[in-house]
Amino acid sequence: KKKKKTRLSTLKSPQCGLPLQHSGKHCSTEPGETPDPVRTLVRLCVDRHYISVGEGNAELFRRGVSCSYGPLGLELRRNLLEQWWHSVTRSSAHVFGINTVNISGDTAAGGPEQLRIVESESFQRIFEKQKVSKEQLVQMLQELLLRSPPVRKNLFKGALEQFVPSLELVNGKLPFGLAETGLCFQPSGGSGCSANEVMQTSLVWFCSPRTSSQWLDHWSRQRLKWWRKFALSPSDFSSGDVPEEELEEVVSRGVRIMYNFPWGQEPLETLWIRGDTELLQKSHAVLTVLQCREDRKSVPHVVSVTGNLDRGMMAFLSNSLQQLKKVNGRQRLQQRNVLKLHPTLAPVKVALDISRGATVELRQVCEGLQQELMEAEVSVWPGYLKTLPTSVEHLNAKYDEMGVLFTMMISENTLESGLLKVRSRDTTIKETMHISEIKNFLCRYISAADNI
Amino acid sequence: KKKKKTRLSTLKSPQCGLPLQHSGKHCSTEPGETPDPVRTLVRLCVDRHYISVGEGNAELFRRGVSCSYGPLGLELRRNLLEQWWHSVTRSSAHVFGINTVNISGDTAAGGPEQLRIVESESFQRIFEKQKVSKEQLVQMLQELLLRSPPVRKNLFKGALEQFVPSLELVNGKLPFGLAETGLCFQPSGGSGCSANEVMQTSLVWFCSPRTSSQWLDHWSRQRLKWWRKFALSPSDFSSGDVPEEELEEVVSRGVRIMYNFPWGQEPLETLWIRGDTELLQKSHAVLTVLQCREDRKSVPHVVSVTGNLDRGMMAFLSNSLQQLKKVNGRQRLQQRNVLKLHPTLAPVKVALDISRGATVELRQVCEGLQQELMEAEVSVWPGYLKTLPTSVEHLNAKYDEMGVLFTMMISENTLESGLLKVRSRDTTIKETMHISEIKNFLCRYISAADNI
């Protein structure tokens, strides 16, 4: 609880209440001035189409809930979701993916603090009733509210409901898991009548009671390894046991994977040993079925692994932003921002640009190369479509902020010799390559980074 | 409107009100009895883990809205979403993906028929107020309702809001498009206070006014081609102009892609020319920005392409179910159901099974092969984990119902010679192959099917 307060107060402090205009293409600051890292990150994310413009939207982003994402943010989220999914479902043959519904038919579930979806019109019709007393009106409204379907806060309940039908898949044998990713809704806390959405990831693992603690350790290690795999600075990701006093009643042990944001630590993923209580509540009619083969005398225990992918995305963006300072020709301190996202996560792998020249022919070369790369599932930024000429430094600065792995410059020379210049984001070194080698070079580079 | 009525009445007719118990592994019917195709489809989808068990869930599935999907249904939906995404975003360099939020901060939007997310507790607190009159109570509730955030019915509005920020990406040049997939909510119509969710696909295309009709034709052709590409019987998918009397006020032309379900035609995807009215409403402050380069004197027109992927999934399941009859040894008519899903869409590409023998060693071979295939992104069904022996006919019948492309039988012989039997779902022919060829064979097969 204390942590939450710190975070909220930090977010409301003046340094974060930044005006969100489109900034210049790269900012230059006076020598000695230290740029605020949060401000720089948010501005870069807006300028480079990771998140959409708008103060409210940036606020959602910083709070670690879903916001409106631009093309680059969307691709980054797709890549992250894909990697999470692979890491969980391919780690063993015993994890199955499911997809449950957001709106529960079980209107009685959830209790009074539940968020529900209501049809405004049905309420209006009751409001307009003239001939009923205040008490009757309240009763009618209360009934309507209770008949309105609740929306889910997490994916846990849905997975419990799928436990019994999934037993057939594993021949009744433990352990096994059910994986799901999807939108969940949370009260936003602030003004009292708003809600936020979060892209959650969930693995619900069913195992014998005596192995649940080992499995918690196993999954904690696996998850931390996963987060660190894609980090530029892995030590910012950490894991730790949740203090006993913070545990819910049904939970016997918990571990949190944390990220060290500029404003403090926040949890990205949480693992709980939840015992068998909730599983028994959900499936009391089928108690006998629950007694699985491995351990006939007891009901399986549940280990839940729940993550917030929106906050995870912000963690990787924050982690990969490198701010380099250099003094430019006019003796001004210039800041270069490079978004060193992991090659697997980077939303754009390569930008294709043309230097001045016979643009029609050069564009055709670009289009051909783009087609070839897209077929190999390498995402391309069609910089060659830009009609206004830009200096090479501006272009490099822009692509570095976008996190583009390689910039390829097609020139007159390419038409004659097939050679083009390839600049790496991470080394800033320019190499000359033949156009026929490009596809293989990129595919090898990305898959090598993936297998480290 | 007439169409909708027909559909609903069909769904309530006795033939569809099927009891949804788990059926036997494959059903045998008396000679002369014609099995109801809808009933067979739903039962197969439940038995084979496409959709979760439960009468309410099957009803959602048949109505073409999101239901709870099992592991196979989830994979099918993932594959479909992936294919839709590729077909739209890779078809041209000018389509960008976006992701907008479900909950709009703009509480005034939407009007009275809007679905809203409310916090039950806030309502309860007002219900409990003693000292207010009926009129005051109604006013407080009305204000609370209007402050509660609406949830989206479609993705269209979100894309319009992203039009101006996206102009920079295309250097202000038309045409270009914004693509998005995501959950939307709809009133369920029935009891008056329920709602359904739908996985929608949306392409919003911005073009010059004089080209909008050509673009409608272009995208209609593209979309129909896409649906038919994955169909077993392409003629069940069709497209047609929407009659003028069914068009909304802002729409000047419309095309629907329809699927011919056993109970009648239903729309899968709808294309509208929506003119510039809504774009102007959304962005009136930036009218000058809207006047793009291609055609300086006018605001771009909008062509929207909106699909329902849940219904699309049911269309492909329905389309690919082949019911074959044969007389078995005991002179009973036996029905064989084969789910001939397109190789790209099939959720499981290969099942690995073992025939009787030294199971420990055979399982190790299976595990190695599974690992190899999963790394090549070929989805595997680990049939070898099943401990109870099943006859080969039962196994084939089961995998045919699951739509598994190939069944591989690892035997004692594999340990000695490396050879194994590969059975094809579509030809039912068994071939002998060397284990080292399997991966390449499958990858070639799938990519060949993808490129037809």
The owner of tokens 């209580």 is A277
User: Exposure pattern of B289-310 as b/e (b: 16+ CB <10 Å)?
Assistant: ebebeebeeebbbbbbbbbbbb
B 131-170 residues inside an 8 A Cβ radius of A: 133-134, 137-138, 141-142, 144-145, 147-149, 151, 158, 161-162, 165-166, 169-170
Query: What is the distance in angstroms between the CA of the first residue and the CA of the last residue of chain B?
Result: 38
Q: Tell me what the mean pLDDT of segment A185-189 comes to.
A: 83
Q: Which pLDDT score is estimated for A4?
A: 40
Q: Which tens digits make up the pLDDT trace of B337-350?
A: 999 999 999 999 99
**Nearest 10 degrees: CA dihedral of B1, B2, B7, B13?**
130
Distances (CA, A) of B2 to A152, B257, B259: 35, 18, 17
B 217-236 residues inside an 8 A Cβ radius of A: none
> Considering chain B, what percentage of its residues have pLDDT values greater than 90?
55
Q: Which pLDDT score is estimated for B419?
A: 95
CB atoms A183 and B183 under 8 Å:
yes
Other beta carbons less than 10 A from residue A38's beta carbon:
18
Q: Which pLDDT score is estimated for A97?
A: 94
Q: Which pLDDT score is estimated for A391?
A: 87
CB atoms B144 and A193 under 8 Å:
yes
- What mean pLDDT is reported for chain A? 85
DSSP reduced 3-state for B378: coil
A 350-409 residues inside an 8 A Cβ radius of B: 367, 370, 374, 382, 385-388
Measure in Å the smallest separation between the Cα of A437 and chain B Cα atoms.
Answer: 22
Q: Which pLDDT score is estimated for A71?
A: 94
Using left for φ > 0, alpha for ψ between -120 and 50, and beta otherwise, residue B305 falls in: beta
Give me the interface pTM, i.e. the ipTM: 0.87
pLDDT class of A384 with cuts at 50, 70, 90: confident
Structure tokens at A402: 């976008």
B 20-79 residues inside an 8 A Cβ radius of A: 49, 52-53, 56, 60, 66-71, 73-75, 77-78
Give the containing element (helix H, strand E) for B419.
Answer: strand B419-424
Sorted by where each begins, the domain ranges of chain B are: 71-102+157-317, 108-151, 348-450
Instruction: Indicate if the pLDDT at residue B252 is higher than 80.
Output: yes
pLDDT class of A289 with cuts at 50, 70, 90: low
CB atoms B169 and A113 under 8 Å:
no
CB atoms B185 and A117 under 8 Å:
yes
Instruction: Indicate if the pLDDT at residue B5 is higher than 70.
Output: no
Q: Which pLDDT score is estimated for A18?
A: 36
Measure in Å the smallest separation between the Cα of A241 and chain B Cα atoms.
Answer: 32
Q: Closest CB to A119: pick one of B147, B193, B374.
A: B193
Strands A115-119 and A176-187, how do they pair?
unpaired
pLDDT class of A389 with cuts at 50, 70, 90: confident
Nearest CA in chain A to B381: A93
Instruction: Indicate if the pLDDT at residue A21 is higher than 60.
Output: no
pLDDT class of B79 with cuts at 50, 70, 90: very high
Q: Which residue has the higher pLDDT, B374 or A203?
A: A203
Q: Tell me what the mean pLDDT of segment A421-449 comes to.
A: 94
Q: Which tens digits make up the pLDDT trace of A314-371?
A: 999 999 999 888 776 677 777 889 999 999 999 999 999 998 766 888 989 999 999 9
Enter the pTM of the model: 0.88
Q: Which pLDDT score is estimated for A6?
A: 36
- Distance CA(B376)–CA(B409), nearest Å, equals 20
Q: Which pLDDT score is estimated for B9?
A: 33
Task: State the helix-helix crossing angle for B120-127 and B134-147, rounded to 10 degrees.
Answer: 170
Q: Which pLDDT score is estimated for A90?
A: 83
Q: Closest CB to B98: pick one of A71, A90, A382.
A: A71
pLDDT class of A113 with cuts at 50, 70, 90: low
- Distance CA(B138)–CA(B10), nearest Å, equals 41
Residues of B in contact with A196 (CB under 8 A): 103
Return the minimum-mean-pLDDT range out of A190-194, A207-211, A330-334, A433-437.
Answer: A190-194
Residues of B in contact with A374 (CB under 8 A): 90
Question: Testing the interface with B: which of A118, A292, A390 to mutate, by most B Cβ within 10 A?
Answer: A118
pLDDT class of B134 with cuts at 50, 70, 90: confident
Residues of B in contact with A99 (CB under 8 A): 66, 68-69, 73-74, 77
Instruction: Indicate if the pLDDT at residue B14 is higher than 80.
Output: no
Bridge partners for A185 per DSSP:
A197
Residues of B in contact with A191 (CB under 8 A): 147
Q: Which tens digits make up the pLDDT trace of B202-224?
A: 999 999 999 999 999 999 999 99
What fold does the segment set A71-102+157-317 form as a domain? BirA Bifunctional Protein; domain 2 (3.30.930)
Return the minimum-mean-pLDDT range out of A289-298, A343-352, A437-446, B22-31.
Answer: B22-31
Q: Closest CB to B193: pick one of A73, A133, A148.
A: A148
The owner of tokens 């600075």 is A233
Q: Which pLDDT score is estimated for B105?
A: 67
Distances (CA, A) of B290 to B9, B156, B212, B280, B299: 46, 18, 16, 9, 6
Which residue type sits at B304? S
- Distance CA(B166)–CA(B85), nearest Å, equals 18
> Considering chain A, what percentage of its residues have pLDDT values greater than 70?
84
pLDDT class of B58 with cuts at 50, 70, 90: very high
- Three-state DSSP string of chain A: CHHHHHHHHHHHCHHHCCCCCCCCCCCECCCCCCCCHHHHHHHHHHHCCCECCCHHHHHHHHCCCCCCECHHHHHHHHHHHHHHHHHHHCCCCCEEECECCCECCCCCCCCCCCEEEEEHHHHHHHHCCCCCCHHHHHHHHHHHHHHCCEECCCCHHHHHHCHHHHHHHHCCCCCEEEEEEEEEEEECCCCCCCEEEEEEEEEEEEECHHHHHHHHHHHHHHHHHHHHHCCCCHHHEEEEECCHHHCCCCCCEEEEEEEEECCEEEEEEEEEEEECHHHHHHCHHHHHHHCCCCCCCCCCEEEEEEEEHHHHHHHHHHHHEEEEEEECCCCCEEEEEEECCCCCCCCCCEEEEECCCCHHHHHHHHHHHHHHHHHCCCCEECHHHCCCCCCHHHHHHHHHHHCCCEEEEECHHHHHHCEEEEEECCCCCEEEEEHHHHHHHHHHHHHHHHCC
pLDDT class of B190 with cuts at 50, 70, 90: low
Q: Closest CB to B101: pick one of A103, A133, A197.
A: A197
Nearest CA in chain B to A50: B98
Q: Which pLDDT score is estimated for B430?
A: 95
Residues of A in contact with B388 (CB under 8 A): 171
Phi, psi values for residue B385, rounded to 5°: -80, -20
pLDDT class of B331 with cuts at 50, 70, 90: confident
Measure in Å the smallest separation between the Cα of B63 and chain A Cα atoms.
Answer: 14
Sequence-distant (≥ 6) Cβ neighbours of residue B59 within 8 angstroms: B11
Q: Which tens digits make up the pLDDT trace of A85-95?
A: 999 988 776 89
Q: Does A451 contact chain B (CB < 8 Å)?
A: no
B77 contacts B309 by C-beta, under 8 angstroms: yes
Q: Write down the architecture of domain A348-450 according to CATH.
A: 3-Layer(aba) Sandwich (3.40)
Question: Testing the interface with B: which of A51, A103, A282, A399 to mutate, by most B Cβ within 10 A?
Answer: A103
How many angstroms from the chain centroid is the CA of residue B298?
37
Q: Which tens digits make up the pLDDT trace of B361-410?
A: 898 999 999 999 988 889 999 888 877 778 888 999 999 999 999 999 99
Instruction: Indicate if the pLDDT at residue B294 is higher than 70.
Output: no
CB-count burial class (<10 Å; 0-12, 13-18, 19+) for B42: buried
Q: Does A91 contact chain B (CB < 8 Å)?
A: no
Task: Render B262-300 in DSSP notation, one character per residue.
Answer: TTEEEEEEEEEEEESHHHHHHTGGGHHHHS-STTTTSPP
pLDDT class of B93 with cuts at 50, 70, 90: low
Measure in Å the smallest separation between the Cα of A253 and chain B Cα atoms.
Answer: 29
CB atoms B145 and A120 under 8 Å:
yes
A49 contacts A73 by C-beta, under 8 angstroms: yes
Closest by Cα among B163, B444, B418, B127 to B290: B163
